[in-house]
Structure 1
Amino acid sequence: MLRRHLLGAGAAALTAPLASTLAFPLASPALAQGAWPNQPVRLVVPFAAGGPTDIPARLFAEEISKALPQRVIVENRTGAGVVVGTDVVAKAPKDGQTLLYTTVAHASLRALFPRLPFDPQADLVPVALVGVIPMIVTVGKDFPARTLQELQQRGRAERGGIDYASSGNGGALHLATELLLRQMGVRGNHIPYRGTAAAMPDVLNGTIPLIVDVATSAVPYVQRGETRGLAVMDSRRLPQLPDVPTTAEAGFPGLEAYTWHMVMAPSGTPEPVIAAVNQAFNRVAADAGVQRRLSDLAMRLVSDSTPASAADWLRRETVKWEGLIREANIRVD
């Protein structure tokens, strides 16, 4: 059901006219001199086509293509999590013709995969933070806890700890739940599934009481009353779930977790090219029509990102998730 919903949202996003014109002036020297792009730009997405990462990437590629002399073409390169696609960009020419559209998974690569064929920090540079999607703490509709405080109390009362589902070992859902439980002082029993779709039936039927899920997939279940949202792991509430408090409002300030989308380039790419790519993504992110279409994914777009601010965001996220992985001794088989 989620896949059909996302595919439908993606199709609408790519075909519906935008509210404003995105034909912006080619102000960067790299653009003005015709140095970039001098051929179609590859936007490598290390996730499967049609999913919640691929859909925004294709929308950005479509709209940026309208303002450039060359098209931006999305290329899905999956395998070993995000390793295969990321490796393609890390080893690409440093000319801005091959870019990476990645997620929070990038921040945990070093800690989870110590023998990578590239260095996630040294071989790639952030260009723009495109948007963030918060995680939502959800429980089955019949689970007694109605607040994070009640979840904490019940979790502490369980001698063996509380069971929780995730979309896979070492993934964003797994890490976000560990972050939550550690801050609450609750022991958890991780039950990994092959993707969120595989995990949800056991959450819905009450076999597994808890899942921390990305808002893109969690919102429809909460809206239909099939699960109960206890908190949004963000500094602000979601418009789609106005009655679900933030973690700070629920008594846990600073407890935030997102899947975020970021554009990266090979290290050594000329600064004028980095600036031109950053400008292109910011202009699309600022468009009201694009924002409306991506609201179906509960994605909050960032239209004022700079390479420096994106790099700072990545540094903070890397410190947070690498530290958690070490503390929890999380390993990927």
Structure 2
Amino acid sequence: MHRRSLLAIGATALACPAIAQGTWPNQPVRLIVPFAAGGPTDIPARLFADELSKILPQRVIVENRTGAGVVVGSEVVAKAPKDGYTLLYNTIAHSVLRPLFPRLPFDPVADFTPIALLGVIPMVLLVNKDLPAQDLPGLVKLLRDNPGKYDYGSSGNGGAVHLATELFLKRAGNLKMTHVPYRGSVAAMPDLLSGRLAMFMDVAASGLAYAQRGDARALGISADRRIAQAPDVPTFAEGGVANAESYTWHMVLAPSGMPDAVVEAVNAAFNRVAEQENVQRRLTDLTMMVRSDTTPAQAAKWLSDEIAKWSTIIQDAGIRID
């Protein structure tokens, strides 16, 4: 009996190396970013990795794994050892994998453990400066009176901009506009400024610059409150469009089945970095509303709610990936 007990303990130790070999982390941690280096997701991810490397006994190394949207990078994490040394830094893109990609090499829910929701970035609704709508109620009336007449742009089918715009149109009374997808926000902006597009909803960090220069007009923010960078721009709810909040959010996930102690240790480390004043300042400059106290359970609830919301929008709008 004594020998069998020792064998059982040894098997448990091998199954949970993060606990058996000491407190996490005792080797470098890979933070997989399924977006290109230098982009709006990669920059905050590297900030977290750098700061984590200062407070942990091991380095956190960012690896950019792009391809098939976020599928390639996410698959790396889904199939990684369940030890806390391979993590995923993902966005709203994770919540639309199931409805947009019917044949995935992993389950975006069952194969992942949400660790922490780090922050949310709202959208700003921009219109061409010559559009005959001076505020959000005026825009809604214009679109209602002219169904299908005006075009809106997005950074690509199924992306955060596309989804946020379709949510807004639905909540504003099932308004009809023609969707024109582009390869990124930068490609769409010249057409908004020239009047080819009537409307474009961009992440606040980049979109507000066009309004501040007077190149376009900002009529609303997709958040639950106004943001410091644009205190004069009302929320959608203030403009009469309720339940249209949308964000591109940042979350850390891990393979499912990790030991609870490791999940808690990873969560605590990311929250500790998110609490730092210098980190909050830099993320706020990117118009991120930082979260520094979310639990794994709260992150899981957020992801579940987002999957439900966007699945409905994708189905109702008939969104398909090219």
Q: 2:252 aligns with which of 237, 242, 263?
A: 263
Q: Which has the larger radius of gyration?
A: 2
Residues 31, 276 of structure 1: 8 Å contact kept: no
Q: SS at the partner of 1:310?
A: helix
Deviation at 1:159, TM superposition (A): 4.1
What is the CA deviation profile of residues 176-204 of structure 1, one whole-angstrom value per residue up to 9, with x for unaligned ones? 10111111221011000000010011011
| Equivalent residue for 1:237, pick from 220, 223, 226 | 226
Counterpart amino acid of 2:203?
Answer: V
- How many angstroms apart in 2 are the aligned matches of 1:154 and 1:209? 11
Task: Give deviations 1:132-158, integer Å, cap 9, x for gaps.
Answer: 000111111221212111111111122
Q: Offset of 1:253 from its aligned partner?
A: 2.3
TM-score by structure 1 length? 0.89
SS at match of 2:69: coil
Identity %: 63
- Provide the rounded CA distance (Å) in 1 between the counterparts of 2:148 and 2:309: 27
How much has 1:163 moved relative to structure 2?
Answer: 0.6
Please, which of 69, 85, 90 is the counterpart of residue 97 of structure 1? Answer: 85
Q: Which runs of 5+ in 1 are unaligned?
A: 1-29
Q: Alpha carbons of 1:122 and 1:32: their partners in 2 closer, same or farther (altered >3 Å)?
A: closer
Is residue 326 from structure 1 mapped to residue 315 from structure 2 by the alignment? Answer: yes
The two structures, once aligned, show a CA RMSD in angstroms of: 1.3
Residue 117 (str. 1) matches residue 105 (str. 2):
yes
Q: Is the 8 A contact 1:235 1:256 kept in 2?
A: yes
Structure 1 CA distance, aligned partners of 2:169 and 2:150?
9
Moved over 6 A (4+): 30-33
Q: What is the rounded CA distance, in whole Å, between the counterparts of 2:54 and 2:68 in structure 1?
A: 33
Corresponding residue of 1:51: 39
CA contact (8 A) 2:171 2:243 kept: no
1:35 CA drift (Å): 3.8
Amino acid aligned to 2:97? L
- Give the residue type in structure 2 aligned to 1:195: G
Residue 62 in structure 1 maps to residue 50 in structure 2: yes
**Greater CA drift, 51-60 or 289-298:** 289-298
SS at match of 1:120: coil
Cα distance in structure 2, aligned partners of 1:220 and 1:34: 48
Q: Give the aligned length.
A: 304
Corresponding residue for residue 10 of structure 2: none
Q: Which residue of 1 aligns with 2:269?
A: 280
Report SS of the residue matched to 2:55: coil
Correspondence for 2:119 = 131
TM-score normalised by structure 2 residue count: 0.92
> Residue type matched to 2:258 in 1?
T
2:242 counterpart SS class: coil
Query: Which stretches in structure 2 are left out of the alignment for 5+ residues?
Result: 1-17
Give the equivalent residue in structure 1 for 2:242.
Answer: 253
Q: Map of 1:202-217 to 2, 5 A cutoff?
A: 202-217=191-206
Of residues 151, 172, 182 in structure 1, which corresponds to 2:170?
182
* Distance (Å, rounded) in 2 between the aligned partners of 1:203 and 1:32: 57
Following the alignment from structure 1 to structure 2, what is the Cα–Cα distance between the partners of residues 61 and 283? 12
Match of 1:26 in 2: none
Match for residue 14 of structure 2? none
Q: Distance in 1 between matches of 2:148 and 2:297?
A: 45
Inter-partner Cα distance in structure 1 for 2:147 and 2:20: 66
Q: CA deviation at 1:212?
A: 1.0
* Residue aligned with 1:34, SS: coil
CA distance in 2, matches of 1:49, 1:91: 23
What is the one-letter code of the residue matched to 1:219?
L
More off after superposition, 54-63 vs 291-300: 291-300
Write the deviation string for residues 90-125 of structure 1: whole angstroms up to 9, x where unpaired. Answer: 011100000000000111100000001100000011
Structure 2: which amino acid aligns with 1:232? I
Change (3 A) 1:75 1:41: same
- Cα contact 1:178–1:188 (8 A) shared by 2: no
Match of 1:23?
Answer: none
Which range moves more in the overlay, 155-164 or 311-320? Answer: 155-164
